[in-house]
Structure 1
Amino acid sequence: MARAEAMPLPDSMALAQAPASEAPRPGLSDFIDRHLGWFTLGPAIVLLVLLTIYPIVNLVLMAGSTINFQQGHEIWKFSLWSNLATLLHDGIFGVALRNTAIYAAISVAVEMVLGLGLAILVSSMRRGKGILRTLLIVPILLPPVAIGSMWKLMYSFDFGVLNQIVTGVGLQPVNWLGSTSLALMSVIIVDVWHWTPFVFLILFAAVEGLPSEVIEAARIDGAGTWSIVFKIIIPLLKPAIVVAALFRMILAFKVFDEIFLLTSGGPGNATEVVSLHLYQVFFEQNQLGYGAMMSVAIIAATVVFIWIGHRVSSAMGRL
């Protein structure tokens, strides 16, 4: 019989029977392939630790200490309970917290109504939609310094355009920024003018993404404009409305530049907010430990608020 031809061995078996000296050696490229994730994430992790985690840990340590400077050196002294007691008995912080809550609640409520109305109105336009959308977002493109200077001139008691209009109709000029009863509302008006376009952009994108078939079917069934808005459009926009309101509440709670430029917290404490009071404690009174304690309290309140907003958003998304 003829000898049967030897069948070729599979690659794996041939590799196994190959001499050890001929086995492929791992090189630099293999090492990079195995650790590519760490190479790409490493710089981001380092930046996260240096710019986020370390400052937070340092802020927490500062919150439980009193920090003084002697001969160019920091002197840390543990005073957690003292800082906490100062926070609880700080009357200005209570006033600032109340003003911040009023400021955020009123401004965000008005901005949500105006932003939603503008989003629905502009979305329903057939011509000029792009031009009007561009004009509406101009306020959020202006720097806060320019906005504060512009509105301070408009609110001027002697030569402001608002008092010129008031006196033009036979009324007495109004001290918009110098009255304890009007100063906070005057600043709220500036915030509404500044941030309504932000809400408009979010809700306008959401309105543009709504299914047109549902709205057209409602029109064919005889539904009026108001019925479509309140029974179809707004229910479908619930997740976007919650997101826009959450973002605006966070930004309104951190307001600083507009109030600092317009009133600096005055007259008295009429427009004092938590961020402005925190600035004064840190940089004017030089109470670093107590300022850190106040910062930790504000961060904790913000985290709780974000968690509540997330739960509300999830619940509304399941409806």
Structure 2
Amino acid sequence: MSTSEGDLLHVVTADDISDGRRKLGTTVIWGSFAILVIVAALQWADANGRADFGFTSWRPTLYAFCLWSVGLCWGQVLRFGEYGKRTLFVLPAALFVGAMVVFPLIFGVGIALSDWNLSSPDGRQFNGTDNIVEMWNDPFYWNALKNMVWYVLAILPEYAIAFGLAVLLNAQIRARKFFRVAFLLPLMLSPVAVSWMIGKSMLEVRFGPIARFFRSLGVEDVAFFSSPEMARFMIMAMDAWTFIPFMMIMILAGLQAIPKELNEAARVDGAGPWRGFWEVTFPLMLPVSITAILIRIIFKLKLADIVINVTSGGPGGATDTVTSFIFREYRDRSNVGYGTLLAMVYLVIIVIFMTILMKVSERWTRPRT
């Protein structure tokens, strides 16, 4: 068999599909879709008190969606034959994303535009843009956003410390393997465990060992979370202690990937350790460094557990993050509608911010040779 004849085995020709089969495929697709629309409309009417169909959950709509998904896949095969079978490699994944991402997002937008307080006997009531106006005039939410700026900027000194530790662990020092494991221990702990172990125990004002040590030195005011600046710094320190090893291990992997010949060539050309670092090591590490910083920013934007367990956002909202503030809207105030709106707005801010940041950092993330 020649090469040209072998290639023909991978060519899919159009099937000879009859008009009746095409019509059947179209009927299956639109018929199942009509069932989905009707069931969803009945479900919406039942949920909003317009009618009483005895629906206790959204399972009928889920079943109708599954029926439409099967009908859509089957209809594609009926209408397009072999070409329709190709879509089956992508269509189920697209439908799954629609069910797990798109539908919850639309449902969340509906909740965000509603007045839904779990302590209210009235249930969920549509209020349009009232939640948006409330958010615009909410100083605590804007204060949480301002705090996030400080928390994100704290990543720069974290990166410097992580880079220094990575360089140290990459050098030929004694007990290097031991120190690598020891420096990774904070990353193995849960942030909740760190908050209780350090924030609630070691830094406790009355009986904490650190506070008692400072009092033995004659320092009377040892309240670590009394002033806004000190409280914010302590939250940053605990979060940094937990996640600096994450950046350190990524940077260490990048350092070990740099060929030793490059540093040796720099020394032969007369470059000292400091000059060799800035002109050889650091430029080659930029892609890894930017990647580590971007991933760390994503983790930082989700910071909540340490704040919730140690300070609950205090004093006066000085340590609040957006996530911890939204958590208290749900837990303490039972304000589901307003809390969902804050979460939606924060999601949009994160998407825009990370998109811009990745676009700006694109020039430094390209591998350098």
Q: 1:224 to 1:168 in 2, by over 3 A?
A: farther
Corresponding residue of 2:110: 61
> How many angstroms does 1:317 deviate by?
3.6
Q: 1:225 to 1:164 in 2, by over 3 A?
A: farther
> How many angstroms does 1:148 deviate by?
1.1
1:157 aligns with 2:205: yes
1:294 aligns with 2:349: no
> How many angstroms does 1:171 deviate by?
2.5
State the SS of the aligned residue for 2:204: coil
State the SS of the aligned residue for 1:266: coil
1:49 to 98, 104, 122: 98
Q: 1:287 to 1:237 in 2, by over 3 A?
A: same
Kept after mapping to 2: 8 A contact 1:110/1:192: no
Corresponding residue of 2:124: 75
1:200 to 248, 251, 267: 248
1:113 aligns with 2:160: yes
Residue segments in structure 1 that go unaligned for 5+ positions in a row:
1-9, 13-30
Kept after mapping to 2: 8 A contact 1:122/1:129: yes
> How many angstroms does 1:266 deviate by?
1.3
Q: In structure 2, how many angstroms separate the alpha carbons of the residues matched to 1:70 and 1:101? A: 33
Q: In structure 2, how many angstroms separate the alpha carbons of the residues matched to 1:175 and 1:126? A: 39
Corresponding residue of 1:131: 178
Q: For 1:57, give the aligned amino acid.
A: I
Q: In structure 2, how many angstroms separate the alpha carbons of the residues matched to 1:51 and 1:207? A: 40
Corresponding residue of 2:361: 313
**Bigger shift: residues 296-305 or 170-179:** 170-179
Corresponding residue of 2:67: none
Corresponding residue of 1:23: none
Q: In structure 2, how many angstroms separate the alpha carbons of the residues matched to 1:70 and 1:192? A: 38
> How many angstroms does 1:207 deviate by?
1.1
Report the count of equivalent residues. Answer: 289
Kept after mapping to 1: 8 A contact 2:290/2:365: no
Kept after mapping to 1: 8 A contact 2:215/2:222: no
Q: 1:171 to 1:89 in 2, by over 3 A?
A: same
Q: In structure 2, how many angstroms separate the alpha carbons of the residues matched to 1:71 and 1:186? A: 38
Query: For 1:36-81, what per-residue CA distance to the aligned partner results, in whole angstroms no more than 9, with x for missing partners?
Result: 876666664454333322222212222223235699985341412x
Q: Report % sequence identity.
A: 27
**Bigger shift: residues 206-215 or 255-264:** 206-215
Kept after mapping to 1: 8 A contact 2:191/2:242: no
Aligned pairs for 1:1-319 (under 5 A) are 44-67=93-116, 74-80=123-129, 82-106=130-154, 108-125=155-172, 127-151=174-198, 152-317=200-365
Residue segments in structure 2 that go unaligned for 5+ positions in a row:
9-76
Q: In structure 1, how many angstroms separate the alpha carbons of the residues matched to 2:307 and 2:83? A: 53
Q: 1:281 to 1:288 in 2, by over 3 A?
A: same
Q: 1:86 to 1:131 in 2, by over 3 A?
A: same
Higher RCO by CA contacts (8 Å cutoff, separation 6 or greater): 1
> How many angstroms does 1:243 deviate by?
1.3
Kept after mapping to 2: 8 A contact 1:68/1:76: no
Kept after mapping to 2: 8 A contact 1:177/1:262: no
> How many angstroms does 1:223 deviate by?
1.3
What TM-score comes out, normalization by structure 2 length? 0.71
> How many angstroms does 1:203 deviate by?
0.9
Instruction: Please tell me whether Structure 1 or Structure 2 has the larger radius of gyration of its CA atoms.
Output: 1
State the SS of the aligned residue for 2:186: helix
> How many angstroms does 1:296 deviate by?
1.5
What TM-score comes out, normalization by structure 1 length? 0.81
Q: 1:220 to 1:97 in 2, by over 3 A?
A: same
Kept after mapping to 1: 8 A contact 2:118/2:335: no
> How many angstroms does 1:273 deviate by?
1.5
